[in-house]
């Protein structure tokens, strides 16, 4: 659901805005998950988290290759996505370890921290690429 929404809005609002909003709201939902006590609250929080994490992920997937120079775009995007896959491999191990130690709140706290870090770094450091020529977008920006 989140990806369909993001796909519809990415050119309207831009990649940077959807990354910041998607990951920011997902981080808030992860924190709310630690306090949810009823089945309805857990389900609602999980759906909000999943939808907004998907929005941020889709926007990041579109944004990542756009910032690399054309001559290395495939290699740069592959390396960036590879690090994401590495995180996807490590996170279940960390979550499993924390859950087995009866620290479920830490799992969602870490999820929130990573979501907020992604949103914050994107807000502070990313430049918008929507509607711009890819060759112009990928030119190095001095001072960044």
- 121's enclosing H/E stretch is helix 104-125
Nearest to 128 by CA among 71, 49, 63, 57: 63
Q: For position 9, what pLDDT does the model report?
A: 86
Angstrom distance (rounded) from CA 41 to CA 76? 40
Q: Assess contact for 63 and 133: CB atoms under 8 A.
A: no
Which residues are within 8 A (CB) of 25 and not within 5 positions of it... i.e. 6 or more apart?
A: 48, 52
Cα 49 to the chain's mean position, in Å? 11
Helix (H) and strand (E) counts for the chain?
6, 0
Mean pLDDT, 10 residues at a time, over the chain (144 residues)?
A: 82 92 96 89 93 93 85 88 90 89 88 95 89 70 49
Angstrom distance (rounded) from CA 52 to CA 7? 12
Q: For position 121, what pLDDT does the model report?
A: 95
Q: For position 139, what pLDDT does the model report?
A: 65
Q: For position 140, what pLDDT does the model report?
A: 59
């Amino acid at each position: 659901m989140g990806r369909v929404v993001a796909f519809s809005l990415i050119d309207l609002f831009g990649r940077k805005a959807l990354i910041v909003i998607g990951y920011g709201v997902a981080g808030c939902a992860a924190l709310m998950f630690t306090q949810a006590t009823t089945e309805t609250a857990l389900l609602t929080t999980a759906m909000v988290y999943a939808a907004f994490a998907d929005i941020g992920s889709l926007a990041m997937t579109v944004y990542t290759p756009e910032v690399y120079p054309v001559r290395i775009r495939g290699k740069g995007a592959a390396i960036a996505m590879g690090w994401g896959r590495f995180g996807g491999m490590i996170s279940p191990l960390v979550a499993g370890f924390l859950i087995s130690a009866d620290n479920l709140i830490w799992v969602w706290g870490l999820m929130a921290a990573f979501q907020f870090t992604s949103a914050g770094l994107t807000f502070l450091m990313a430049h918008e690429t929507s509607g711009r020529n890819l060759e112009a977008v990928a030119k190095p920006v001095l001072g960044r």
